[in-house]
Amino acid sequence: MEKFAFIIHPMDKSDVARKYKIANFLPESAVEWVVKRMEPKYVSHVTGVRSKTGTELEGWLVGCPLTARQMLALDEGFVLDKITATAKLAQELGAGIVGLGAFTSVVGDAGVTIKAGVDIAVTSGNSYTVATAVEGLFKAGDLMNAPADSVGAVVGAGGSIGKVCARLMARRLPKLILIDKNPDAVADVVADLKQQGKCEVEVAPEVSTALPQADLVIAVSSAAKAIVQAKDLKRGSVVCDVARPRDVSRRVVEERNDVLVIEGGMIAVPGEPDFGFNFGFPPGTAYACMSETMICALEGTYESYTLGRDLAIDQVERIGQLAQKHGFELAGFRSFERKVEEDYIESVRRNAGRA
């Protein structure tokens, strides 16, 4: 039996209130004051995960008591110490690898410091997140009847994740726009893709001038606030936002009924998984970052897989292969923490004139 753990944390007061009802009657600041002083907590026991190879898995969800806002606003050293303490709890429970969920993979150096503080493997889950984001983008494009000559775009193309996304997208598109305020940051990707000669490449410094051309968009910038606005997007476009904090403003889904915004995919986990916790997903499905942690454990090689800000395309391809080996697959989409239903996609497609 292989063993893993995954760190979760409350996004805001409403998540805290799911366990502590009194939080409903307190201001956000009071809830955060209490949460900040809590110790990491055992959340649930995970059972029933079974690979296609027959290997079985058990695990634990462990809670880091900080909200998303606190993760970004509090002293970085304090936050990293809290995450490390949560990872140590995972180690004590018997996990061989721990995954960093939500904002715990964003803070600091994306897991490097956390790994230094524990004696088990650590992964941010970013490799499988990227693999499924690109897969999901094209699947959503098919559902939206995107044109065969679709133009792609990567927001934040100069980052390590953006560069990998660009290379993967360029394999399937006739034109790709790399959006980054620093053109020098994408010079190596541009040179590489132009040498391959399979995809026309354009570089743009601003979202507002580039996105009106794009049909398929991945947003992975490190901006501290939403930079993709409703007015920026082409009718009928699909945007996959995997940035944290989000690149896409919530007003996009409120004001544009002719574009589809997703946040990556829901992953169908093999076997009969019982997570002992309601993520708001259909039964048997999980986040891609959590799935990467389970995949690594099922493979039985307890080595840190995705750490730090650098991400290599061979990492992404390898985790995709291991996902297939063990029976993990894309099961659907989510957007702003909710499942994207088929009838919603149909309505967006109709409003975009793609019915």
User: CA 174 → CA 171, 179, 241, 351, distances in Å?
Assistant: 8, 17, 22, 26
Average confidence (pLDDT) over 185-203: 90
CB atoms within 10 A of CB 167: 19
CATH code matching the domain that covers 128-265+334-351, chosen among 3.40.50.300, 3.30.413.10, 3.40.50.720, 3.40.50.620: 3.40.50.720
Torsion angle, alpha carbons of 152, 106, 295, 217, to 10: -10
Q: Which pLDDT does position 223 carry in this prediction? A: 78
Q: Is the dihedral of CA 203, 208, 209, 213 positive or negative?
A: positive
Q: Do 55 and 4 touch, CB atoms closer than 8 A?
A: no
Rounded CA-CA distance 245/243 in Å is 6
**Structure confidence at residue 325 (pLDDT):** 98
pTM of the model as a whole: 0.90
Q: Which range is least confidently modeled, 10-19, 30-39, 174-183?
A: 10-19
> What is the C-alpha separation between 263 and 332, in angstroms, rounded?
11
- Whether 92 has a pLDDT exceeding 90, the answer reads yes
pLDDT by residue (tens digit) across 295-316?
999 999 899 999 998 889 999 9
pLDDT at 339: 85
**Residue 183 pLDDT grade (very low, low, confident, very high; cuts 50, 70, 90):** confident
- Count of beta carbons in the 10 Å neighbourhood of residue 268: 17
Answer for the pair 165, 154: CB distance below 8 angstroms, yes or no. yes
234-250 in b/e form (b: 16+ CB < 10 A) is bebbbbbbbbbbbbbbe
Span 214-231, average pLDDT = 91
Is residue 265 scored above 80 in pLDDT? no
Q: Could you tell me the two tokens for 329?
A: 């697959």
Where does the pLDDT of residue 225 fall: very low under 50, low under 70, confident under 90, or very high at 90 and above? confident
Tell me the domain boundaries of the chain. 2-125+267-331, 128-265+334-351
